[in-house]
């Protein structure tokens, strides 16, 4: 293609010059062709890009289309039920609830419900009255002297750095108005998290905000922040679903001078948190660390977050709890489908246990060991609707966290630019010009409304099932499509099985 480019380009350049001298046409055409020829010569000589070397000018179209491919996919190709990680219908539901406008849909479901993947709530012919009071859950075991009454639905871990200053402030102000908590993420507790909303301070492997000069955990620095009145709980991050076994990633473009100062690292460099903690390296050490943080925080609820991998390791942690007679106040279970600002593809796609089996395993393990009543289970994953909340509770959770749901409430359009510092709506970026697009006064109201309307939807579903309390929710309230694979099940409910013919 290079040969054809130069033959055709040179010919057009000569013709345009001839036309200019003979017919007094504009010289601009000849100049433009000449510039393209210069670009073509440069590209054909460079060794970095094969496409541009072989297609000196046309190759740029390939990179242009690659750049806007997610937008083409999202706006022109995907259907309303398509789209990953969240479909257009799911995103639209959050947008409508965040804007506090009608969230109804017309004409019936667009899903194929005659499949094994269908999951439906078993409603009651005699539904209960809808409770308009939003549900809360008390967190704090026998050793906790400052128990916390948490909302059933809260903001999951998202760090300042991964998210912009305006996004963090809007989330926290929304949490304050809605009386629910805001998890800081492992990036540390910052002034932007202290706008009045309740905070769960997450302690990751980098110990950002409570580390010494060597990067190890510092008791004094931790105690200073942990005893802030807005900090209601502390969460030790062992792993997260989007990249279990891999430390957090903050791209260099997002690591500003301010963020580097907060985290105690070098600015404008990629920050890779260690994959493991230095304060402990065993189940015994973890439980001792739980007790240590509880003492330093003067009895606030302490828990840990993990994505389940090798099940025997979680069982070993539980055994150590009983051995030391020291129990975390909560365990946050993250699914492999969880989100993140940046992760290696292999970790996002191929490591960790999905939320559904993980929740079942954790809940069943605690029940089997007779310690379930001592520990609250928090789940975090793709929780953006009342149906998802009820399902999580049915599988064993006491309460739920959501990150991407609250990002949608801020205006996230799933542009998939989180790791580039080019988030077009000013959420997952440190670019000041882009950040200005996120107006705190408007967005924190949307955070508040999304939380309120989603929990109200959960209350409506609870009532539709004939229940008045979330403690009555279990897996018997849900049906799966594969329950109807047999002909008799298609036409007769299970309580009429005695009249079916085999």
Q: How many Cβ atoms from other residues are within 10 Å of residue 281's Cβ? A: 10
Top CATH class of 136-479 equals alpha beta
Bin 230: left if φ > 0, else alpha if -120 < ψ < 50, else beta. Answer: alpha
Round to whole Å and give the CA distance between 183 and 162: 13
User: Tokens standing for 169?
Assistant: 């402030």
State the pLDDT at residue 484: 54
| Whole-angstrom Cα Rg for the chain | 27
User: Tokens standing for 431?
Assistant: 């670019």
State the pLDDT at residue 483: 65
| Per-residue model confidence as pLDDT tens for the chain (502 residues) | 677 877 887 888 788 888 877 777 778 888 888 888 888 888 888 888 888 878 888 888 877 877 777 777 777 777 777 777 888 888 889 999 999 998 888 887 887 787 777 888 999 999 999 999 999 999 999 999 999 999 999 999 999 988 999 999 999 999 999 999 999 999 889 999 999 999 999 999 999 989 998 889 999 999 999 999 999 999 999 988 777 777 777 888 888 888 888 887 888 888 878 888 999 999 999 999 999 999 999 999 999 999 999 999 999 999 999 999 999 999 999 988 777 767 777 877 778 888 999 999 999 999 999 999 999 999 998 899 999 999 999 999 999 999 999 999 999 988 888 888 888 899 999 989 999 999 999 999 999 999 999 999 999 999 999 999 999 999 889 887 766 555 445 444 454 444 444 4
| Composition of the chain by helix, strand, coil, percent to 5 | 45, 10, 45
Which residue, among 282, 315, 298, has the nearest Cα to 231 in the 3D structure?
298
User: Tokens standing for 171?
Assistant: 């989330």
In angstroms, how far is CA 468 from the centroid of its own chain?
30
User: Tokens standing for 465?
Assistant: 């099932």
Strand (E) or helix (H) holding 89: helix 88-98
Bin 477: left if φ > 0, else alpha if -120 < ψ < 50, else beta. Answer: alpha
Whether residue 85 has a cis bond before it, omega within 30° of 0? yes
Coil vs helix vs strand at 80: coil
Strand (E) or helix (H) holding 32: helix 28-45
pTM for the model stands at 0.84
Residues carrying CATH 3.20.20.70, the chain: 136-479
- Which residues lie below 8 Å from residue 272, measured CB to CB, with a gap of 6+? 247, 248, 249
Phi and psi at 380, nearest 5°, equal -135, 135
Question: What is the longest distance spanned by two Cα atoms in the chain?
Answer: 98
Round to whole Å and give the CA distance between 308 and 310: 7
Please give the torsion angle defined by the CA atoms of residues 196, 198, 204 and 207, in that order, rounded to the nearest 10 degrees: 50
Round to whole Å and give the CA distance between 145 and 376: 16
Round to whole Å and give the CA distance between 125 and 127: 6
> In the chain, what is the straight-line distance between the N-terminal and C-terminal CA atoms, in Å?
70
User: Tokens standing for 418?
Assistant: 């989180």
State the pLDDT at residue 331: 98
Q: With helix as H, strand as E and coil as C, how does 306-342 read? A: ECCCCHHHHHHHHHHHHHHCCCCCEEEEECCCCCCCC
State the pLDDT at residue 491: 46
Is the distance from CB of 157 to CB of 182 less than 8 angstroms?
no
């Amino acid at each position: 293609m290079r040969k054809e480019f130069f033959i055709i380009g040179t010919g057009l350049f000569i013709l345009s010059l001839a036309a200019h001298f003979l017919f007094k046409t504009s010289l601009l055409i000849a100049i433009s062709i000449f510039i393209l020829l210069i670009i073509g010569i440069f590209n054909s000589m460079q060794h970095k890009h094969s496409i541009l070397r072989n297609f000196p000018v046309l190759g740029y179209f390939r990179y242009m289309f690659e750049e806007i491919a997610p937008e083409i996919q999202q706006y022109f190709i995907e259907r309303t039920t398509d789209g990953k990680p969240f479909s257009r219908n799911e995103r639209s539901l959050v947008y409508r609830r965040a804007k506090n406008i009608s969230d109804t849909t017309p004409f019936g479901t667009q899903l194929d419900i005659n499949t094994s993947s269908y999951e439906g709530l078993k409603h009651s012919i005699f539904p209960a009255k809808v409770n308009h009071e939003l549900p809360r859950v008390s967190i704090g075991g026998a050793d906790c002297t400052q128990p916390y009454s948490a909302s059933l639905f809260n903001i999951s871990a998202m760090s300042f750095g991964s998210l912009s200053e305006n996004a963090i402030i809007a989330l926290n102000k929304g949490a304050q108005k809605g009386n629910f908590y805001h998890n800081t993420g492992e990036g540390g507790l910052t002034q932007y998290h202290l706008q009045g909303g309740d905070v769960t301070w997450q302690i990751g492997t980098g110990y950002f905000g409570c580390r010494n000069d060597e990067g190890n955990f510092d008791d004094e620095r931790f105690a200073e922040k942990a005893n802030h009145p807005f900090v209601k709980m502390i969460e030790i991050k062992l792993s997260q679903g989007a990249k279990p076994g891999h430390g957090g990633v903050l791209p260099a473009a997002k690591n500003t001078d301010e963020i580097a100062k907060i985290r105690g690292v070098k600015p404008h460099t990629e920050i890779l948190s260690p994959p493991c903690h230095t304060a402990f390296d065993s189940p015994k050490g973890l439980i001792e660390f739980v007790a240590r943080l509880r003492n330093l925080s003067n009895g606030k609820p302490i828990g840990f977050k993990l994505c389940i991998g090798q099940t025997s390791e979680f069982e070993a942690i539980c055994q150590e709890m009983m051995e030391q007679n020291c129990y975390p106040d909560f365990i946050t279970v993250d699914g492999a489908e969880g989100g993140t600002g940046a992760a290696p593809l292999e970790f996002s796609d191929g490591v960790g246990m999905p939320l559904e089996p993980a929740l079942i395993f954790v809940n069943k393990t605690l029940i089997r060991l007779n310690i379930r009543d001592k520990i609250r289970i928090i789940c975090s994953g793709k929780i953006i609707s009342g149906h998802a909340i009820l399902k999580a509770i049915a599988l064993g959770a006491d309460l739920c966290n959501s990150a991407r749901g609250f990002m949608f409430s801020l205006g996230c359009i799933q542009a998939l630019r989180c790791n580039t510092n080019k988030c077009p709506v000013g959420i997952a970026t440190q670019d000041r010009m882009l950040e200005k697009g996120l107006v705190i006064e408007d967005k924190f109201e949307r955070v508040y409304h999304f939380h309120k309307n989603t929990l109200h939807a959960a209350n409506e579903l609870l009532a539709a099932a004939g229940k008045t309390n979330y403690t009555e929710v279990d897996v018997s309230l849900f049906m799966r499509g594969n329950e109807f694979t047999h002909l008799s099940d298609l036409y007769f409910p299970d309580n009429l099985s005695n009249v079916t013919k085999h």
